[in-house]
Amino acid sequence: MKIFVDADACPVKNIIIDEAGKKDIPVVLVTSISHFSLKEYPDWVETVYVDTGADAADYRIMQLAKKEDMVITQDYGLASLALAKGCYVLHHKGFAYTNDNIDQLLQSRYLSAMERRSGKHTKGPKALTEEDRQKFLQLFRNYLQEIV
């Protein structure tokens, strides 16, 4: 098992790295080359850089991920693809994507996009709170305990 992180805008990378290290699970951070960093990570963490294209990180994650790997993303489209591949998929705000909720999430994304195209101003995602971090940490630990 590996954990793939859609890392460009992931605010819980440190939680993922710390918790995965406790279980000796490899973590792959997939990020745009525009976010290049010399930051050093522990041995169990690999960084994969991709082009700056809109979905380049998503495509690379889908090339690398295998059934029963874990994907951490806020992108509903990537989540849908990863679920179809048999991956466990978590959102950094502390909920799991499932076959039961993905259609509704994709529908809400589509409706928001239609509103923006028609000129309506929509709000972006709310800022991550400490409560969100704790919720993610607990969910992540539960998943690691169940699947490892």
Looking at the structure of the chain, the number of domains it has is: 1
In Å, how far are 43, 89, 108 from 69, measured between CA atoms?
A: 19, 9, 26
Burial class (CB in 10 A: 0-12, 13-18, 19+), 108: exposed
pLDDT in tens, 71-92: 999 998 999 999 999 999 999 9
79 φψ region: left (φ > 0), alpha (ψ -120 to 50), beta (else)? alpha
The answer to whether 147 and 88 are in contact (CB under 8 A) is yes
Rg (CA), the chain: 15
Q: Is the pTM of this model over 0.85?
A: yes
Q: Give the domain extent around 89.
A: 3-147
Where the chain has pLDDT below 70, the residues are 109-110, 122, 124
Mean pLDDT score of the chain: 91
CATH number, domain containing residue 42: 3.40.50
pLDDT in tens, 58-70: 999 999 999 999 9
Q: What's the CA gap between 133 and 15, in Å, rounded?
A: 9
Spatial neighbors of 34 by CB under 8 A, at least 6 apart, are 52
